Structure 1
Amino acid sequence: MEITFLGTSSGVPTRGRNVSSIGLKLPQRPEVWLFDCGEGTQHQLLRSELKSSQIRRVFVTHMHGDHIFGLMGLLASCGLAGNNHRVDIYGPEDLSGYIKACLRYSQMRFAFPVQVHGVTPGVVYEDGEFQVTCAPLKHRVPAFGYRVGERQRAGEFDVGKAQKLGIPPGPVYGRLKRGETVTLPDGRVVEGKDFAGIPQAGRHFVYCTDTIYCDQAVALAQGADVLVHEATFAHQDAALAFERLHSTSTMAAQVALAAGVKQLILTHFSPRYAPGNALQLSDLLAEAQAIFPHTALASDFFTYAIPRCQTTPAMAVGAG
């Protein structure tokens, strides 16, 4: 799992930062999931290593323009490029009406199947490898944070052990890899679990914006490998944060600390901290690191590969 920041500014783009969007590249399948789609996201995709033709799902946090104004342009361009695969879009209930209005007044027609899903707290999507859940955040309009959980993977098949026991290679190896019980030609019965290495824990990515500090964000982010959290304001501008229901750098760090995440990445920065101003983004980073040391600042096109960890045998129960 690899995340690429396509926009890290809040409200309006700047010369160095576009408005909100993140691409999540999934492992072992040519598929990209997009989180928010601010104006200009399709241009950012062209400058990144991500391919718009691989976008299969879009998750929208809320209906503010800096998070959705790029969506229709991106979908239109994908259609003109000849894409014909289905795209599923998830977000607040008003998202469906917004898309229908855009289609009506622009006389646009989707050239491929598009399905819009209004989300409610809980599971919004799942398949054999991933589960996506959402939780309400605290903002001026209905807003949701998203958590992508990868299910636990079986450990690698121990070929050496199988060879030492005289088990011939072939279809039987495939059955053992799947954990099946196999009766060999000589009558021996072997268990697939006896040839499996340490299971690999599923990775978890959490995205929270726009919001002020709230308990729902802490609950959503519990134990995550990486939390991407907005940090619109510096700590000394907390009054603005409370007025506009955005987070400070210290609020984001407090969420990460309370949730016990492994890595915090800050994003959604106010342009007021641009180079040359009294406060810089480096000041926001220092504020957050004083509370949660494993904090980094996002920048446009910054890519973070979420590391995979092996779990212990005691944890090897059920899905991650």
Structure 2
Amino acid sequence: MDHTVDDEFEAALAHRARQVDATLDELLDARPRDGEITRPARLLEAMRHGVLNGGKRLRPFLVLESASLFDADGPGALRVAAAVECVHCYSLIHDDLPAMDDDDLRRGMPTVHRAYDEATAILAGDSLLTLAFDILADGMDHLATDQRSDLVLSLARAAGLGGMAGGQALDLQAEKQAPDEAGIITLQAMKTGALIRFSCEAGAVVGRADPARREALREYGNAVGLAFQLADDLLDLTGDSAALGKATGKDQAAGKATLAALHGEEWARRQLRGLVAQAEEAVAIFKDRAGRLRAAARFVADRRR
């Protein structure tokens, strides 16, 4: 790739990650909330292990930076960002299970079912998913009722049957019957792209954007989601497991078809350049204010881990 990720973007990404980590740490403390009886210590510990483990927090970054386009990246946006990360981490915990991808490492640490046990990992994932909707539905005087309702509905659809969970089902099916190119694109748009697209569009909801600007962020999220999965497939083919903090070569070993494997490395890198261009064009409406979003698209396409 011929893009570079600048120092300002790296600093912004790290800053947003610290903000989100602090929020998640607070949300995942031992104190029961209204309506809760108690928070079982082992389950809570497993949830924290699956969330507070050094992730880049890209999806929360996209929420916050999209909201910042409308000067709305305050406490409300931060809670939405935390909710998105709960959904993302739930999906990783479940994806790592023996019944799914059967992974031992995640972000360089033992996966939740290895650090604890399978049943606790399932419950930790379930609890993170429901916590995400708890966060969004709880008013806290940060977001209006119509905004919370919009976010709950949109996240449910991004995470569920017609989005991420459905994409994971198609991914498991692909081990037995390889999809064609159109099928691969659909699978990836659901499994990976749906939550990234929601993250970008959520900023528009928090910022009460007009329909044109909301659609621009949706189109940006589509391009970034496709780029993220294509780069991930490329890393599975060419990356180093120690650098990535997880196993590589698993798609090929499982017989899963990916666009990178189907067309080769050079094709994949050309496609990534095109997807970055699409993402940049989508946010052109925001002019210089979208600088970090443009940098994020380059970061996604160029990542080595």
Q: What is the TM-score of this pair, normalised by structure 2?
A: 0.30
Higher RCO (C-alpha 8 Å, min separation 6): 2
More helix per residue = 2
Larger radius of gyration: 1
More strand per residue = 1
Q: What is the TM-score of this pair, normalised by structure 1?
A: 0.29
